[in-house]
A = this chain, B = another copy of it.
């Protein structure tokens, strides 16, 4: 079975029909909200350009597969997110969720833009520290932080530690005591809400590993314990409800429950919670037919919900916090692949399907196989006015499930050595990459007009054997 109806799938639309472009012209468009802001098509050559860089020049220089991040789009997205939550009545901290994608330079950029960073392992912590992000701007998550990781986080002066289990409370309290500090913490509450696209499920209990159950009383018990531990400073509560969320409806139920709990605990313990962290989960467009509300629309709804719920319970407004990952980095990046083989396959149910094999696959994009994720792909190295053909873009791995784009329509004059671009691969693609079939992991470069900043280089054959003891 798969663990969670919405959680692990990270936002893939099982219920709607895959978007089919009506014409080759539509399949070549880059203004459908799926591509980053500075992806366009050169009018003369017909080739895709990313921040004025011709993709043919980028692939010439860096090879394929290649992940290309649109740096000005990233900056704009960060600023949009910040602006959406800019409310003097309700100050909000934005923690970028490092699990979506991290590199040292990338973390440095985000910190320069004023984002804080949410890390959840010693490795992610190390990355943020290598980027000189101040410890106070970091938030440390994790359902099973090791004592070593906790000690490193406290040593780094991490600004928030999100407590996730009774063991975690004891370990963090002990580590803080040992270090002679008071650690600022949040208690993670599971409120029984699981949200995904425009839908959510509200139950009493959540059958998942994170947090303390509100309904079962574990959240109350966790707060009671934390308040009794002098090495912990309880800053607030944390609630995360899902991923690839397209509107605020799920948050409405979760906020009512969590803010209700804050009121109840204030009454019981006399404790005012200074902060409310509502986690991450805002969705992005993977296909033109995806219709998430804008960040500013969801932010407006969220702020109203929080104000209303606090007002109804006579609570002062808390400081808010959010943890966007995908919403920041997902749409900024696309992956460029070179076509290697093109095969017509009879499917028995009508038209042929054309299998287009590219030079990457499940090692650089596990999301299609893992979450049934759907992506948008376009011919990138040139234009075409040929009719569309029904395609499946597959990788080079020795496995039939090695699929990059399950349903795609590409020009029927597609040829070997054409370059394809797959949109919205910034989140979870490179971070979940593997060396399956001993395939080197691809590089990530960031571009803006006149500048290319390589973030992660391509692995070499020698890299594949770095840990092999021969």
Residues of A participating in the B interface, judged by any CB pair closer than 8 Å: 1-4, 7-9, 97-99, 102-105, 120-124, 126-127, 130, 141-146, 164-168, 203-210, 213, 215-216, 340-343, 345-348, 353, 355, 357-359, 366, 369-370, 372, 392, 394-403, 406, 416, 431-441, 443, 454-459, 461, 463-470
Q: A123-B440, A366-B366, A459-B467 are in contact. List 18 more A-B contacts (CB 8 A).
A: A4-B401, A7-B401, A121-B396, A123-B435, A124-B437, A127-B468, A130-B470, A141-B398, A143-B394, A144-B357, A165-B341, A166-B343, A167-B416, A203-B348, A204-B348, A207-B345, A213-B346, A463-B466
Q: Is the CB of B457 within 8 A of A400?
A: no
Contact flag A434-B432 (CB < 8 Å), given A3-B406, A143-B394: yes
Contact across chains for B464 and A126 when beta carbons are under 8 A apart: yes
Residue numbers in B under 8 Å from A467 (CB-CB): 441, 443, 456-459, 463
In the complex, which residues of chain B have a beta carbon less than 8 angstroms from the beta carbon of A366? 366, 370, 434
In the complex, what residues of B have CB within 8 A of residue A456's CB? 467-469
A392 contacts which chain B residues (CB < 8 A)?
209
Residues of chain B lying within 8 A (CB to CB) of residue A165: 341, 343, 357
Contacting residues, chain B, for A406 (C-beta < 8 A): 1, 3
The 9 closest A-B pairs by CB, nearest first: A8-B401, A123-B438, A7-B400, A144-B357, A144-B340, A144-B396, A120-B398, A165-B341, A205-B346
CB–CB B401/A104 < 8 A: no
Main secondary structure of the interface of A (DSSP, over half): loop
Are A470 and B104 within 8 A (Cβ)?
Answer: yes
Q: Which one of A215, A359, A431, A454 has the greatest number of beta carbons of chain B within 10 Å?
A: A431
Distance to closest chain B CB from A275 (angstroms): 20
User: How far is it, in angstroms, between the C-alpha of A359 and the C-alpha of B465 when the chains are bound?
Assistant: 24
Q: Which residue on chain B has the smallest CB distance to residue A436?
A: B432
Interface centre among A121, A145, A463, A467 (most CB of B within 10 A): A467
Residues of B within 8 A of A124 (CB): 437-438
- Chain B neighbourhood of A142, CB < 8 A: 396, 398
Min CB gap A388→B, angstroms: 19
The answer to whether A120 and B437 touch (CB under 8 A), given A359-B144, A400-B4, is: yes
Q: Which of B343, B346, B403, B433 contacts A434 (CB 8 A)?
A: B433
- Identify the interface centre among A121, A145, A406: most chain B CB within 10 Å of its CB: A121
- Taken together as a complex, chains A and B put the C-alpha atoms of A355 and B432 apart, in Å, by 24
Do residues B345 and A208 form an inter-chain contact, with CB atoms below 8 A? yes
Given A144-B341, A144-B358, A204-B348, A3 contacting B369 (CB threshold 8 A): yes
Q: In the complex, A459→B465 CA distance in Å?
A: 11
Q: List 7 A-B contacts (CB under 8 A).
A: A99-B398, A121-B439, A124-B437, A144-B359, A366-B366, A443-B467, A458-B467
